[in-house]
């Protein structure tokens, strides 16, 4: 008998490109070792998880987030993007962002991600080293895009200092099983051509991802045309920005030419439906993107603009919105939405060979969803339930890199009460600064 770390027994396993089936799974050294029946006769497991009445599926890959904004959740709502950013978010960021704040806020955000079944996230923020520490502490996989702006930011005076920092972080976390760094120019309206080109070269040199907000509002597109004579994707393409792997967040206002450019490059779109609807930024046109062959993935954006991290809610909302917009209930069937939120995200982050699906040899990034409840019964098609019936409350167990980080909705690697206490502490400070109290 071979010794393994975890034996997951009798779950409804959503194995990649196979029909859902009751199966068991052997997990060892962070990887999926075998999927099949009667595995308990073959392996001795350190831990056994009874997955009866549970859907066993790949964890969600969140391709656009600002995890350390967790303490700004619900701070300012019901405003246009520019006003929300410049009058509410930037002032509190200027006052509060520090290494300590980011480490605490990121830990809270990572905890919230795990509670929503997210096993990998692609972030854009500042103080990536502290976010990495929190991600490693809780045990979540992360691609951390260090934000670049032409103006001074919380941790640096200019973009060149940030480029140096990214090199240092890339080197520091080289051996980490969970952390990668990325280059994240904030947007074309906060980052000039010179820094965008430097960002591109740095990403190419280190072989890492670029992550940028793009075409989020009509105004951004109009301003770009006025300034450069080109639309945003054409402008970036004019200096080879898409020669690297790029995660383009939002990308709502793309014309035909821009979609063709993204389709022929190694770029992916992070769809952020809740955030875009809430800020009335507009709609993505999924159908056309898919017809052009652009890789799609799901992002939550930060909780300050969403205001939650539920991927199940994102895909349910996006699927229904797209059906209505296209006057076609057959587009984006449930299984395809789940694939966009899992393997689509893995492709976007250039991690297709490691995560995003349940396959032997891939990383054991797995979530277990309870179906033995009123909302989940009767159960004919797990994909249908995931997109149209269930909420994150039914996500019970989360395994990342072969380690259990949530069991029966209780986080294993951090003390949830401590996290709640800390967020109340920061809430008081932020309220005082805003003159609310
Ligand atoms: Zn964003």
How many angstroms is it from 224 CA to the middle of ligand 1?
19
Q: How far apart are the first and last CA of the chain?
A: 64
Domain 2-58+365-411 in CATH: superfamily? Urease, subunit C, domain 1 (2.30.40.10)
Q: Are 214 and 185 in contact (CB under 8 A)?
A: no
The CA-based angle 214-216-219, given to 5 degrees, is 110
pLDDT for position 80: 84
DSSP assignment string, 184-225: EE--TTTS-HHHHHHHHHHHHHHT--EEEEES-SHHHHHHHH
Nearest to 212 by CA among 234, 260, 254, 245: 245
pLDDT for position 85: 85
pLDDT for position 437: 55
pLDDT for position 154: 83
How many angstroms is it from 355 CA to the middle of ligand 1?
23
Phi and psi at 166, nearest 5°, equal: -60, -45
How many angstroms is it from 26 CA to the middle of ligand 1?
37
How many angstroms is it from 104 CA to the middle of ligand 1?
20
pLDDT for position 434: 84
DSSP state for residue 243 in the 8-state scheme: G
Q: Matching CATH topology for 2-58+365-411 and 60-348?
A: no
How many angstroms is it from 301 CA to the middle of ligand 1?
5
For the chain, the domains span: 2-58+365-411, 60-348
pLDDT for position 49: 97
Element (H, E) at 122: strand 118-125
Q: Which residues surround ligand 1, an ion (CB under 5 A)?
A: 301
Residues with pLDDT less than 70, the chain: 436-437
Nearest to 268 by CA among 208, 320, 355, 340: 340
pLDDT for position 81: 80
Burial code (b: 16+ CB inside 10 Å, e: under 16) for 260-281 equals ebbeebbbbbbbbbbbbebbeb
Counts of helices then strands in the chain (DSSP H, E): 17, 17
pLDDT for position 281: 86
Adjacent-strand bridge partners of 146: 125, 183
How many angstroms is it from 252 CA to the middle of ligand 1?
13
How many angstroms is it from 300 CA to the middle of ligand 1?
8
Q: Which CATH number among 3.40.50.300, 3.30.70.260, 3.20.20.140, 1.10.287.130 corresponds to the domain 60-348?
A: 3.20.20.140
pLDDT for position 305: 86
């Amino acid at each position: 008998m071979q010794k393994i770390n975890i034996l997951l027994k009798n779950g409804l396993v959503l194995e990649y490109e196979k029909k859902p089936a009751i199966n068991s799974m052997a997990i060892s050294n962070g990887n999926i070792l075998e999927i099949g029946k009667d595995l308990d006769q073959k392996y001795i497991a350190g831990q056994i998880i009874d997955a009866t009445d549970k859907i066993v599926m790949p964890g969600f890959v969140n391709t656009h987030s600002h995890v350390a904004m967790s303490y700004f959740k619900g701070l300012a709502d019901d405003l246009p993007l520019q006003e929300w950013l410049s009058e509410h978010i930037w002032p509190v960021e200027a006052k509060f962002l520090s290494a300590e704040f980011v480490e605490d806020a990121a830990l809270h955000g990572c905890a919230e991600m795990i509670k929503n079944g997210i096993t990998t996230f692609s972030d854009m923020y500042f103080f990536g080293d502290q976010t990495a520490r929190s991600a490693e502490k809780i045990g979540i996989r992360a691609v951390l895009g260090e934000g670049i702006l032409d103006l001074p930011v919380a941790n640096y005076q200019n973009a060149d200092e940030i480029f140096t920092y990214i090199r240092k972080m890339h080197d520091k976390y080289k051996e980490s099983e969970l952390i990668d760094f990325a280059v994240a120019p904030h947007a074309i309206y906060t980052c000039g051509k010179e820094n965008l080109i430097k960002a591109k070269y740095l990403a190419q040199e280190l072989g890492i991802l670029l992550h940028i907000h793009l075409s989020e509002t009509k105004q951004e597109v109009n301003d770009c045309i006025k300034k450069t004579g080109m639309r945003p994707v054409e402008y970036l393409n004019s200096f080879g920005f898409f020669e690297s792997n790029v995660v383009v967040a939002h990308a709502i206002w793309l014309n035909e030419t821009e979609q063709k450019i993204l389709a022929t490059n190694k770029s992916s779109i992070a769809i952020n439906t809740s955030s875009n609807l809430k800020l009335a930024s507009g709609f993505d046109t999924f159908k056309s993107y898919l017809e052009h062959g652009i890789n799609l993935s799901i992002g939550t954006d930060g909780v300050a603009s969403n205001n939650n991290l539920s991927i199940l809610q994102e895909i349910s909302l996006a699927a229904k919105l797209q059906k209505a917009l296209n006057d076609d209930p057959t587009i984006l069937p449930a299984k395809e939405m789940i694939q966009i939120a899992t393997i689509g995200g893995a492709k976007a982050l250039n991690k297709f060979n490691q995560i995003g699906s349940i396959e032997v040899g891939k990383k054991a990034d797995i979530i277990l969803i309870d179906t033995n409840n009123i909302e989940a019964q009767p159960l004919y098609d797990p994909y249908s339930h995931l997109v149209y019936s269930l909420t994150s409350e039914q996500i019970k167990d989360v395994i990342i890199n072969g380690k259990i980080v949530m069991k029966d909705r209780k986080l294993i690697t951090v003390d949830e009460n401590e996290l709640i206490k800390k967020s109340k502490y920061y809430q008081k400070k932020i309220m005082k600064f805003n003159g609310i109290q």
